[in-house]
Structure 1
Amino acid sequence: MKFVLNEIKRELSDEEIIQDIKRVSNQLGRDWISISEYRKTGKHSLNTIQNHFGTWKNALKKAGLRAERNKDEYKIIPDQMYFDDLLNVAKKTNKKTVTYEDYKKYGKYAVTYIFRRFGTWNTALTKAGLEGTGFSKDKITEQQCFDEIERIWILLGRQPTTTDFTKSKICKYSIDVFKRRFGSWRKALEAFVKYANNTDEIDQGDTPDAPELEEETKLSQHEKNKISSQNKHTTSRTINARLRFLVLQRDHFKCCACGASPAKDPSVELHVDHIIPWSKGGETVPENLQTLCSKCNLGKSDIL
């Protein structure tokens, strides 16, 4: 027997691969083709294409084709293809589940379409035979999301963006927490603004405000009784989250006394204070509320 080495294959050029992708595209009569469609009549393997262009999307772009499916094309994708791709990503990452971030990195499809198809990320995972991520939206409540958006909005002194989440560590939740619960970051902001601007129950206390030096403790019991009999309050002393945010926003997230702002100094803590103390007849209404930093609030006492 004579042993003969195979001839060394010459290196393929990018242009040869691009021309073959165009050929398959012309055969199908479409300006977008999937990798599975290309495999049926294409000359080159996915591994070869990835070695040249990194991803299938990049190869399509180089060939002058669309790199993304349109909505109608996503609609006709069978559920099983999504499941198979989730399982493929789980195998790549050697995990029993697939996180949102892992799928964005290794998955073939847009995660937004998986959400639309199955409602929740964990539903898609379960139907694919995988374990849930453990990041159920029910573990972090809607109110907690609103509280965190409010905290960051106050800290920045402006509407927070996705960049604030991805490029800094100011939020205790990832951006995906908000996307899973509300569908997108924009929808999370819209829900928060609607919540914050709902003044139907503006005088119902549901979130304790910063202390006003507990001015009532400085009065004798006789004085307290006298004030109580004289002042018939129509509002609760407690400033709820909605009213607190509206006052802070009105005052541009700055102390009305000294101008201190968390946007300039993260150590600054803002309080919402009764201008006329509640114990002396002041009501919990926007006109009687002001933004003060903790230092100015502590120095204000209960002097009118």
Structure 2
Amino acid sequence: MKFELETTLRGATNLELLEELRRCASELGRDTITQAGFAKIGKGHPTTITRRFGSWPQALDMAGLRPSRSKIGISDDELFENLRNVWMFLKRQPRYGEISKPPSQFSTSPYEKRFGGWTNALKKFVEWVNEEDESKHVPKARKHIVPDNRPSRDQSSRRTKRNISERQRFRILLNAGFRCQSCGASPLTSSGTELHVDHIMPWSKGGETIDDNLTCKCKQCNLGKGNAFKY
């Protein structure tokens, strides 16, 4: 059996310390690293870094990494958007341990501290996804006069915007089980499947951007649909 001395950061140059920061961040697949993360996989203790460069954020900046963020400054929306991104990446509900891995930007800690546990965080996330917004209902139409030389259904009479919000897009994909509503194709079973969320009644033909007028289709089925509408 071959014995080797364990390498540490004691006596390392500034360049070597910065390179170790970059190595650890790369190993985690991220563009930043926390002191806790460095303590687990780094070749030394975080205090070696902070003493040399004055502070952890300063060291990250000199290493060309993104400053890690304090849990205090993270908003509920940021936590929910991160959870949505991980859910979209996995095409299913993330498990407890998966939220601490890339592409997640946060660990389970801020979720547990903010919402009193992982299960409660998931419940609050579902409420957030299903919150009422302008895309879930059509407000009352405003009275307006349509000039004779303009079509009766123009953009000024729209009650919803054309663009589909990220929250609404996720809601439609989730309700569809991440499967094409025409052919059943899914990235869960075929890695090359690309899903689109689009209007059933085309927006150009008067369709509104509401959940009931949106569907999930694979790229092939959606492009084949074009601007047609099947009753």
Task: Give the drift of 1:108.
Answer: 9.2
User: Are 2:154 and 1:252 equivalent residues in the alignment?
Assistant: no
Task: Give the drift of 1:234.
Answer: 1.0
User: Are 2:17 and 1:96 equivalent residues in the alignment?
Assistant: yes
Q: Aligned residue pairs: how many?
A: 181
Report what 2:191 is aligned to: 266
Q: Does the Cα contact within 8 Å between 2:86 and 2:94 map onto a contact in 1?
A: yes
Task: Give the drift of 1:303.
Answer: 2.5
Q: Does the Cα contact within 8 Å between 1:156 and 1:262 map onto a contact in 2?
A: no
Greater per-residue helix proportion: 1
Q: Is the alpha carbon distance of 1:281 and 1:226 closer, same or farther for their aligned partners in structure 2, counting shifts above 3 Å?
A: same
Q: Is the alpha carbon distance of 1:200 and 1:163 closer, same or farther for their aligned partners in structure 2, counting shifts above 3 Å?
A: closer
Please list every run of 5 or more consecutive structure 2 residues that lacks an aligned counterpart in the other structure: 25-32, 137-147
Distance in 2, matches of 1:275 and 1:266, equals 25
Does the residue aligned with 1:227 lie in a helix, a strand or coil? coil
Task: Give the drift of 1:195.
Answer: 8.8
AA matched with 1:131: A
Q: Does the Cα contact within 8 Å between 2:100 and 2:106 map onto a contact in 1?
A: no
Report what 1:225 is aligned to: 151
Q: Does the Cα contact within 8 Å between 1:257 and 1:292 map onto a contact in 2?
A: yes
Does the residue aligned with 1:292 lie in a helix, a strand or coil? strand
Report what 2:93 is aligned to: 159
Distance in 2, matches of 1:106 and 1:279, equals 56
* Paired-residue identity, %: 26
TM-score w.r.t. length of structure 2: 0.56
Distance in 2, matches of 1:240 and 1:282, equals 16
Q: Does the Cα contact within 8 Å between 1:260 and 1:268 map onto a contact in 2?
A: yes
Please list every run of 5 or more consecutive structure 1 residues that lacks an aligned counterpart in the other structure: 1-50, 52-87, 115-120, 205-221
Q: Is the alpha carbon distance of 1:225 and 1:137 closer, same or farther for their aligned partners in structure 2, counting shifts above 3 Å?
A: farther
Q: Does the Cα contact within 8 Å between 1:274 and 1:284 map onto a contact in 2?
A: yes
Map Cα deviations across residues 177-223 of structure 1 (whole Å, 9 max, x no partner).
424xx85576798499369516344439xxxxxxxxxxxxxxxxx99
Aligned residues: CA RMSD: 4.9
Q: Is the alpha carbon distance of 1:277 and 1:129 closer, same or farther for their aligned partners in structure 2, counting shifts above 3 Å?
A: closer
Report what 2:200 is aligned to: 275
Report what 2:215 is aligned to: 290
AA matched with 1:303: F
TM-score w.r.t. length of structure 1: 0.44
Counterparts of residues 234-249 of structure 1 (less than 5 Å):
234-249=159-174
